[in-house]
Amino acid sequence: MFEIRPIRENEIQEAKHVIFTVAYEVFHEASTLEESIAKYSAQGKLSEMEDVQKNYFENGGTFLVSVHENRIIGTGAIRFLEEGVCELKRMWLLSEYRGQGHGYRMMQELFRIAREKGYKTMRLLTDRVVQKNAVAFYRRLGFYEIPSFSDDPDDMGMELILQIREG
């Protein structure tokens, strides 16, 4: 059975491992997964996950996990960016679960929560070169390119106007 729900405190390390695993597969920046985890950790990647409560739940957002048979297979989060705007963060899905609608379902749940919290717009940053599949996925959902709001020259900004659903 598949379930999408808020992350639990005792699941943070497992969720980080999922993110590091997918990043390793996507970016190929180290020869082993362990080297990749060490490199990203040394750079402070995912440091905001050390306090998910403060950085997501208490920052106008949420942090969700997709779970299959008691195993985290994906993550997705939103947090406050500016008035009326949330930022999509940590949208990762293990490769063996892609193409089955899990990412789409995660996004629909994040859209629902964002609307419930009163956000009118959702923005994200992604790497336009390495994450071509992610860019295509976001475009299919209705995101369009905007100027990057990051200092990283590889980051591409994208935005979606959250339509308020009637009834």
DSSP bridge pairs for 127: 155
Query: What tens digit of pLDDT does each residue of 80-106 get?
Result: 999 999 999 999 999 999 999 999 999
Q: Within a 10 A sphere around the Cβ of 162, how many other Cβ atoms?
A: 18
Per-position DSSP letters for the chain, written without gaps between them: -EEEEEPPGGGHHHHHHHHHHHHHHHH--SSSHHHHHHHHHHTTTTGGGGGHIIIIITTT-EEEEEEETTEEEEEEEEEEEETTEEEEEEEEE-GGGTTTTHHHHHHHHHHHHHHHTT-SEEEEEEETTTTHHHHHHHHHHT-EEE---SS-TTEEEEEEE-PPPP-
Residue with tokens 């106008």: 60
CA distances from 26 to 30, 43, 73, 109, 130 (A): 11, 17, 16, 24, 7
Residue 166 maps to a domain: no
Residue 72 maps to a domain: yes
> Would you state the pLDDT for residue 4?
98
Query: What tens digit of pLDDT does each residue of 19-28 get?
Result: 999 999 888 8
> Would you state the pLDDT for residue 129?
84
Total domain count, the chain: 1
> Would you state the pLDDT for residue 165?
58
Residue 111 maps to a domain: yes
pTM of the prediction? 0.92
Query: For residue 51, what are the domain limits?
Result: 2-161
> Would you state the pLDDT for residue 166?
55
Residue 118 maps to a domain: yes
> Would you state the pLDDT for residue 94?
95
Residue 67 maps to a domain: yes
Identify the CATH number of the domain in which residue 25 sits. Answer: 3.40.630.30
Residue 137 maps to a domain: yes
> Would you state the pLDDT for residue 154?
81
Residue 76 maps to a domain: yes
Contact 106, 78 (CB under 8 A): no
Residue 147 maps to a domain: yes
Ordered per-residue pLDDT tens for the chain, 167 residues: 899 999 999 999 999 999 999 999 888 877 888 888 888 888 888 899 999 999 999 999 999 999 999 999 999 999 999 999 999 999 999 999 999 999 999 999 999 999 999 999 999 999 988 898 999 999 999 999 999 898 888 889 999 999 765 54
Contact 103, 92 (CB under 8 A): no
